[in-house]
Structure formats: structure tokens, C-alpha cells
């Protein structure tokens, strides 16, 4: 047996660069946190085509809402404003990214997918789908300028 000092072994845990664990549907498990850094960590950990779509959506939100607040809660990026609260989030599922507008029933035109939660509407992003950036910007702008949620 070789002496302990001469072993070639795995890197110590402090040297590892660990990727976030992917939960059901490929949703990254990111610790709760405020600001852009945890949101970018979530997006970076999104699997496959979802990473590029997540970057694009985050970019549209940041361009559309000048003082957007960002956070990760319940393994999902949230977007809000200081004045009105959280207005939307995204979440990875197996075949698509679910985009939730918390005051979606007030948006024109309505985002296409109903929710069981009062006031919420969804938009899904699928692989290979061309995003209607103007429509998304319109929804983001409308949602950010109305009362959002203040759950946390």
C-alpha cells in the first residue's frame, strides 16, 4: 500500500465544482437567494435547450423592466419590482418551461394557459419554438406595472 502522501485521489470537496442537482423535469435545485446571482445560477443549470431559452427570457425581462428585482424561491426564479411586488416566475418542467404571470388575467391579450390560482395565467416555452418577443415584452411590461404578490 502506498504512503498516504503519494496517493492520487479525487479532489477534496473544497476543490469540486458541483453542479446543482436537477429535480423532476430537469428543474435545477438552487438555494433560496436574492439578486441576480442565484437567478443566473439557476439559468446556467437549466438542462439543454432550456438554458438558452432561460437566458433569453431573463434578458427580455431585464431590458423591459429597468429596476427589476430578482430572487430564487422554491427552486424557481422570481421577478418583481420594489413598488408592486413579484409579477412573474419561470420553472423547468420535462418538456417545457412554464412562465407564470401572477396577475395574468389582467394582461391583454391573455396569456394562453389558465391556472387554478386566481389571477394567474401561464405561457409555455417549448424546444425549437420561436418566441414572440414583442408579445412577451408587452406581457412583462403590463405585469410589472400592476400589483403583484408579496408572499415572502
Distance of alpha carbon 48 from alpha carbon 132, whole angstroms: 21
Q: Does position 11 have pLDDT exceeding 80, yes or no?
A: no
Query: 105 by DSSP, 3-state: which?
Result: helix
Are 87 and 103 in contact by the 8 Å Cβ rule? The answer is yes
pTM of the model: 0.84
Residue (of 98, 109, 104, 111) closest to 149 by Cα position: 104
The predicted-structure confidence for 90-124, as pLDDT tens digits, reads as follows: 999 999 999 999 999 999 999 999 999 999 999 99
The predicted-structure confidence for 57-88, as pLDDT tens digits, reads as follows: 999 999 999 999 999 999 999 999 999 999 99
Does the domain at residues 25-144 carry the CATH identifier 3.10.110?
Answer: no
Amino acid at each position: 500500500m502506498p504512503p498516504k502522501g503519494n496517493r492520487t485521489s479525487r479532489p477534496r470537496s473544497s476543490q469540486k465544482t458541483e453542479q446543482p442537482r436537477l429535480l423532476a423535469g430537469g428543474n435545477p435545485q438552487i438555494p433560496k437567494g436574492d439578486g441576480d446571482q442565484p437567478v443566473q445560477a439557476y439559468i446556467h443549470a437549466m438542462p439543454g435547450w432550456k438554458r438558452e431559452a432561460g437566458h433569453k427570457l431573463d434578458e427580455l425581462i431585464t431590458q423591459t423592466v429597468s429596476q427589476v428585482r430578482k430572487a430564487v424561491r422554491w427552486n424557481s426564479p422570481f421577478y418583481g419590482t420594489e413598488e408592486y411586488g413579484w409579477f412573474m416566475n419561470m420553472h423547468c418542467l420535462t418538456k417545457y418551461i412554464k412562465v407564470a404571470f401572477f396577475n395574468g388575467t389582467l394582461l391583454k391579450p391573455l396569456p394562453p394557459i389558465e391556472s387554478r390560482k386566481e389571477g394567474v395565467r401561464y405561457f409555455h416555452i417549448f424546444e425549437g419554438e420561436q418566441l414572440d418577443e414583442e408579445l412577451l415584452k408587452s406581457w412583462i411590461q403590463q405585469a410589472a406595472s400592476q400589483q403583484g404578490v408579496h408572499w415572502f
